[in-house]
Structure 1
Amino acid sequence: MTHGKPLPSSPAMQPPGDSSIGATLVVCLGLSQLVAWGTMHYLIAVFGRPIGQEMGWSAAFVQGGFSLALVVMGGASALAGRWIDAQGGRAAMMTGCWIGAAGCALLATTTGAAQYLAGWALLGLGMRLALYDAAFAALAHLGGAASKRAMSQITLFGGLASTVFWPLGQALAQALGWRGALGVYALFLLLASGLHLAIPAARVAAHAPRHAAPAGGPGAAPARADTLLYGLVAVLAMVMQTGISAHFIELLRGLGWSASVAVTLSALLGIGQFTGRVWVVAWGHRYNAIRLNLLPSALLAGGYAVSLVVGTTLYGAAAFAFLYGAGNGIATITRGAMPLLLFDTASYGRIVGAVLKPAFVLSAAAPVALAFALDGWGHAGTLWLMLATSLVLLAASAALARRHAPRRG
């Protein structure tokens, strides 16, 4: 077998150097990620069922709104990236929160399918302008290579979004109904938009040094096997993330837990994400990102296996939520760090954007596909499907790590 060249530790995993990015900016961006993820991306998991029940829509149609948002995210990526490149992240991310608030308001007042889908289209645009991709780009333009630690730190806040907003959304829905709860979500986004005033108004680090290209030199074509394996890893991880996040509470209910217990257990997902990312920030620099990616792949497979074997017990359901959260949390970081080792960083955006096109499309289909799986195969059958998918992910991660393992002799 032909192996790729062994690689040093990923810059994203290494302890950072000095950075001009202050703690205030990190905290403000972190809090904005907490609110943006909780009010937009995780909205469907809490409100999907009551929306469908009141409007008389199928689960597949309700989830189709979230899928539409993901399609819009993919379609808006290039324009959003050019905007941040030209003007920095402040205006783009504030606008993302405003558009997201408008999307929540449309959902809160929806009277039919067209308005519902329009609300999700706005949420898709808002997510592209306000979630991690935009925040990472804004930090990179401010601090260059020294922004890596800040990027990892803000994911610690975002990783708690489900822990905070699933129980909060459930409580708001019980007190105000799902329409009133979505109105409160819109208000949260309007308030969170002000956090982005901490971002300097102009791009200040266009001159920031870039990391050296991997072996082969700048402009060298990436190995086809690396491109295919990384693409497969990214697609499977993103499909599971979007599909499961939309149905996680429903999967727990399918294991026999009541709605209130399922929401409580689901909080462990966010705690798992946070714990996994803290581990990466503290100790992940000991491993390069390609080898480190084996860990989240194994955690995801282990979580699904636990759910099938002992998910009807309290400890088993809790372990499922925690393991899935930890795996997903670490995978978010390694998925962004691996391209720095695999591809020429001068062409990072172009190459990764092309590789991830299938991921956007399939991620958009994942919530609807899982809704059909739940209807046709039940909760156990859907969990078996996810276990099989996670084992393919683990195999692809292992193949990529083997290609870049240190040569012996």
Structure 2
Amino acid sequence: MIPPRTIVCLGLSQLISWGITYYLIGSFGPLIIGELGWSRAIVYGGLSAALIVMGLTSPLAGRLIDRHGGVRVMTAGALLNAVGCVGLALSHSVPAYYAAWLCLGLSMRLSLYDAAFAALARIGGPGARRPIAQITLLGGLASTVFWPLGHLLAEFLGWRGALIAYAGFALLTIPLHRALPSSRYVRPEPSASVPELRPLAVSRSDVVTGGILYATLTTLANFLNAGMSAHMIGILAGLGIAASVSVWIATAQGIGQSLARLCEVLFGRRLPPLTLNVLACLLLPVCFLGSLFAGLSPWIALAFVFGYGAGNGLLTITRGTLPLVLFDHASYGAFVGKLLAPSFILSATAPIVYALVIRRYGEIGALSLSVALACAMLAAALMLKLRFARPAPLDTAAEE
């Protein structure tokens, strides 16, 4: 059993780590462009470079956690988060700017959800499903907390001073990571009362098919999330909503994420991850179709952002729990690290692709692209559900 203290500490570390790395470009991107005079593609391309590094280092990061546990790996990630933020604050040239982002790419892979999920799977085995969902409750508030906080810090300190403050926040996560136990899950001997929990993908064909569908789904989801995280505020403002109002509407994404995850934690105990995955993917096309009319009213925009956050929040949970029911948890970190690598590498192009689409086709064009991506995700989720539509063996373990 994973201690509640570990779950709370890891949840807090995720809130801070996501806010000071992945979401920082949403707060400081326009300010960096305004001061340095670089193009939008160059500035937002920094996140793309970081995502490429995340993809290239993903298999290695997973193996390191399987072998050494989450404490050492995630602590190293926290230190590199601080180094990357300081590097951005001190950058005055494009090479220095991108060097800082390359550092952040490695640090994000060592400190964000996928590292935390692998660490929990190493500790709790099949019983890690509930802790995985629980740590995302606080992590989902990262944009809600750090987008306004970033703007506030930038007003008083400038964007460079705000990034120095972010480096301080990164160091605060080190004692939180130290709460992770160093133990490893030991599979109990099967008995009549405690049957052996077997993955749904047993044969080689099942493993290959499940791996391809899981990798496709996560790649599409990460691409969509990377594009919207970088441009959400700009898209809302481009639809005619005041810039200050757009910032606050965008924070509803985090609220939607955490409330949806709270509902899953409280009421989704008996809902298999494959079914939850389909429901989450069904919500996204509906929200993005509604987003095409977000310029008509801030309330429509608010409903879109909240709904998108809810769907994305549930998908974050299933990204961590699907491998627990599909594949052997003993090699969770290494195997899932390989499957996630394409999603990081391809999603690295998302901020630039969205920037180019916005420049040529406007905000409606970017939202139309999002509709297409969401529909493709739903198709992949349905195929995964149909292929492995058997009772999930982790439901009883999830209650322990």
8 Å CA contact retained: 1:145, 1:209? no
Pick one of 154, 172, 187 that aligns with 1:191: 172
Instruction: Tell me, in whole angstroms, the C-alpha distance in 2 between the residues paired with 1:139 and 1:227.
Output: 20
SS in 1 for 2:178: helix
Q: Does 1:320 align with 2:320?
A: no
Instruction: Tell me, in whole angstroms, the C-alpha distance in 1 between the residues paired with 2:294 and 2:65.
Output: 47
Q: Does 1:99 align with 2:83?
A: no
Counterpart in the other structure of 2:362: 378
Question: Structure 1 residue 242: deviation in Å?
Answer: 1.3
Post-superposition CA distance 1:176-217 (Å, at most 9, x none): 1111111111111112222222223xx312524597333564
Equivalent residues in 2 for 1:10-409, closer than 5 Å: 19=1, 21-200=2-181, 203-208=182-187, 212-214=197-199, 217=202, 220-222=204-206, 225-345=209-329, 348-349=332-333, 351-405=335-389
Instruction: Tell me, in whole angstroms, the C-alpha distance in 2 between the residues paired with 1:394 and 1:306.
Output: 17
Distance 1:153 1:56, change over 3 A: same
8 Å CA contact retained: 2:201, 2:207? no
**Paired AA for residue 140 in structure 2:** G
**Paired AA for residue 106 in structure 1:** G
8 Å CA contact retained: 1:144, 1:209? no
Instruction: Tell me, in whole angstroms, the C-alpha distance in 1 between the residues paired with 2:110 and 2:324.
Output: 23
Instruction: Tell me, in whole angstroms, the C-alpha distance in 2 between the residues paired with 1:406 and 1:136.
Output: 24
Instruction: Tell me, in whole angstroms, the C-alpha distance in 1 between the residues paired with 2:338 and 2:389.
Output: 26
8 Å CA contact retained: 1:145, 1:208? no
Distance 1:345 1:99, change over 3 A: closer
Instruction: Tell me, in whole angstroms, the C-alpha distance in 2 between the residues paired with 1:84 and 1:343.
Output: 17
Instruction: Tell me, in whole angstroms, the C-alpha distance in 1 between the residues paired with 2:98 and 2:215.
Output: 29
After superposing on structure 2, the runs of 4+ consecutive aligned residues of structure 1 that deviate more than 4 Å are 208-211, 344-351
Post-superposition CA distance 1:303-351 (Å, at most 9, x none): 1111112443021010011011001000111122223333444554555
| Percentage identity across paired residues of the two chains | 48
Instruction: Tell me, in whole angstroms, the C-alpha distance in 2 between the residues paired with 1:365 and 1:394.
Output: 21
Distance 1:406 1:152, change over 3 A: closer
SS in 1 for 2:269: helix
**Paired AA for residue 250 in structure 1:** G
Instruction: Tell me, in whole angstroms, the C-alpha distance in 1 between the residues paired with 2:75 and 2:382.
Output: 40
8 Å CA contact retained: 2:44, 2:352? yes
Instruction: Tell me, in whole angstroms, the C-alpha distance in 2 between the residues paired with 1:182 and 1:216.
Output: 44
Question: Structure 1 residue 82: deviation in Å?
Answer: 3.0
**Paired AA for residue 199 in structure 2:** P
Question: Structure 1 residue 250: deviation in Å?
Answer: 0.9
8 Å CA contact retained: 1:311, 1:320? no
Distance 1:223 1:76, change over 3 A: closer
Distance 1:325 1:135, change over 3 A: same
Instruction: Tell me, in whole angstroms, the C-alpha distance in 2 between the residues paired with 1:86 and 1:231.
Output: 23
Instruction: Tell me, in whole angstroms, the C-alpha distance in 1 between the residues paired with 2:208 and 2:69.
Output: 33
Instruction: Tell me, in whole angstroms, the C-alpha distance in 1 between the residues paired with 2:10 and 2:162.
Output: 24
Distance 1:161 1:68, change over 3 A: same
SS in 2 for 1:198: coil
Post-superposition CA distance 1:150-175 (Å, at most 9, x none): 22111101000000000000111111
How many aligned positions are there?
385
Moved more, 300-309 or 321-330: 300-309
Question: Structure 1 residue 395: deviation in Å?
Answer: 2.3
**Paired AA for residue 113 in structure 1:** V
SS in 1 for 2:230: helix
Instruction: Tell me, in whole angstroms, the C-alpha distance in 2 between the residues paired with 1:348 and 1:141.
Output: 8
Distance 1:224 1:195, change over 3 A: closer
CA-atom RMSD, angstroms? 2.2
Distance 1:222 1:109, change over 3 A: same
8 Å CA contact retained: 1:222, 1:344? no
Counterpart in the other structure of 2:397: none
Question: Structure 1 residue 404: deviation in Å?
Answer: 3.9
SS in 2 for 1:286: coil
Unpaired runs of 5+ residues, structure 2, are 190-195, 392-400
Counterpart in the other structure of 2:193: none
